Amino acid sequence: MEILRFIVTRAALGVLTLLAVSILLYLGTQLLPGDVASALLGQSATPEALAVLRAKLGLNTPAYLRYLHWLWGVVHGNLGSSLTTGTPIAGVLLPRLANTLFLAGYAAIIAVPLAVGLGILAAIREGGILDRLSSTLSLATISFPEFFVSYILIVVFASQLGWLPSLATVYGGMGFWNRIDATTLPAMTLTLVVVAHMLRMTRTSTLAVMSSPYVETAFLKGLSRTRVVLNHALPNALGPIIAVVALNLAYLVVGVVVVEVVFVYPGVGQLMVDAVSKRDLPTVQACGLVFAVAFIGLNTLADILAALANPRLRGSRGR
């Protein structure tokens, strides 16, 4: 029952955080000097134009009522209308969300097994070639901006070799394999961006368990290093590793913004950047909320999975 209580508490905390963030996303604009309408229209706005925009944004009602009204709409799938096009945001956002999830999922399917596998190998042969290579690689990927990795891949695989398209053009009704072909380069970029960090953290979690007395006992029994790592250390390192994976998937959600812009991929990130440059506030808020749900959701999931995989939390369950 202990574990169930933990899950409920942690999930409730996640929802609470999400609420706090949504208040900040929606009402954070209140803290800024002036009101949203005058900020959007600039210094030279006529009083009439200001009044129209204020009415359109509903700025004449109190802030907390506006927030509750917005939240009520969001819960019922109504994200409001775009300021620039006047169309409902949900209709534009949902297909793009599907695209973003497809890209992030594609990257995750490559990155997670690769990083966890190599991380464990690096831990088995601590100080070996793979281990040292991975530490150099992680310095590089921490220091390289996403667009640098993207352009290197584009120059190599699209311009020079001509194997893959340099723009990730996707459209409705596109075949699955065509879609895979179009999104391979952005997915590779995202993989490279997260893989090294995930690998290092997997290695560290495994090595942390390796220093405990029971692992030393396993060594003293005469077992091979491979066997000790896989059968003795790994089961206990699994909790932290799962947390690491979920945490990095959350990072992927943000990394996707820049990568989508590089490859002109029609996802939520690109929509948000477009909306920011057009100063289309309701669309930006909707996109921000989508990212918040994904980010906080994955972080909450990371905590819960880590607890599920940890025998110490399972131990107090009645046998």
Partner 1 sequence: MKIAGHRVPVTVYIGGFIVLVTLIVILFAPWVAPYPQTKIVGGVWDLPDAHDWLGTDSIGRDMLSRLIYGGRTSVTIALVATFFTMLIGVGLGFLAASTNKLVDSILSRIVDVLLAMPILIFALMVFAVLGTSIPIMIATISTLESTRVFRLARAVAMNITVLDYVQVARLRGEGVGWVIFREILPNALPPLIAEFGLRFCFTFLFIASLSFLGLGIQPPAADWGSMVHDNAQAISFGGFAPLFPAAAIALVTIGVNLIVDWLLSIHALPAGAGAEV
Buried b (16+ CB within 10 A) or exposed e, 217-228: ebeeeeeeeeeb
Tokens read off for 285: 């808020």
The SS3 call for residue 78 is: coil
Nearest distance, CB of residue 292 and partner 1, angstroms: 6
> How far apart, in Å, are the Cα atoms of 313 and each of 1, 7, 10, 309?
10, 11, 14, 8
Question: Rule CB under 8 A: is residue 286 a binding residue for partner 1?
Answer: no
The SS3 call for residue 163 is: coil
Question: Rule CB under 8 A: is residue 273 a binding residue for partner 1?
Answer: yes
C-beta atoms surrounding 139 within 10 Å: 12
Question: Rule CB under 8 A: is residue 57 a binding residue for partner 1?
Answer: no
Question: Rule CB under 8 A: is residue 142 a binding residue for partner 1?
Answer: yes
Residue in 285, 286, 301, 309 binding partner 1, rule: CB under 8 A: 285
Nearest to residue 188, comparing CAs of 83, 262, 277?
262
Nearest to residue 153, comparing CAs of 139, 165, 143, 169?
165
Residue in 281, 298, 301, 309 binding partner 1, rule: CB under 8 A: 281
Question: Rule CB under 8 A: is residue 254 a binding residue for partner 1?
Answer: yes
Question: Rule CB under 8 A: is residue 71 a binding residue for partner 1?
Answer: no
What is the spatial distance between Cα 93 and Cα 106, in angstroms, rounded to a whole number? 20
Nearest distance, CB of residue 273 and partner 1, angstroms: 5
Question: Rule CB under 8 A: is residue 104 a binding residue for partner 1?
Answer: no
C-beta atoms surrounding 275 within 10 Å: 23
Residue with tokens 């409902």: 88
Nearest distance, CB of residue 311 and partner 1, angstroms: 22
What is the spatial distance between Cα 189 and Cα 193, in angstroms, rounded to a whole number? 6
Residue with tokens 């994904």: 294
Question: Rule CB under 8 A: is residue 40 a binding residue for partner 1?
Answer: yes
Q: Which stretch binds partner 1 (CB under 8 A): 72-80, 102-110, 151-159, 179-187?
A: 151-159
Nearest distance, CB of residue 168 and partner 1, angstroms: 14
> How many residues are there in the chain?
319
Question: Rule CB under 8 A: is residue 157 a binding residue for partner 1?
Answer: no
Question: Rule CB under 8 A: is residue 21 a binding residue for partner 1?
Answer: yes
Question: Rule CB under 8 A: is residue 85 a binding residue for partner 1?
Answer: no
Residues 100 and 256 sit within 8 Å (Cβ to Cβ): yes
Query: In sequence order, which residues have a C-beta less than 8 Å from that of residue 196 and are 6 or more positions away?
Result: 115, 134, 137, 138, 140, 141, 142
Tokens read off for 169: 């053009």
Question: Rule CB under 8 A: is residue 58 a binding residue for partner 1?
Answer: no
Question: Rule CB under 8 A: is residue 111 a binding residue for partner 1?
Answer: no
Nearest distance, CB of residue 19 and partner 1, angstroms: 10
Residue placing its CB nearer to partner 1 in the complex, 234 or 293: 293
Question: Rule CB under 8 A: is residue 284 a binding residue for partner 1?
Answer: yes
Q: What angle do CA 93, 275, 76 make, to 5 degrees?
A: 35
Q: Mask 120-139, x = binds partner 1 (CB under 8 A)?
A: -------------------x
Residue placing its CB nearer to partner 1 in the complex, 101 or 158: 158
Residue placing its CB nearer to partner 1 in the complex, 67 or 151: 151
Nearest distance, CB of residue 269 and partner 1, angstroms: 9
Residues of the shown chain interacting with partner 1 in the complex, contacts defined by CB under 8 A:
17, 20-21, 24-25, 28-29, 32, 36, 39-40, 42, 139-140, 142-148, 151-152, 154-155, 158-159, 166, 250-251, 253-254, 257-258, 261-262, 272-273, 275-277, 279-281, 284-285, 288, 291-292, 295-296, 299
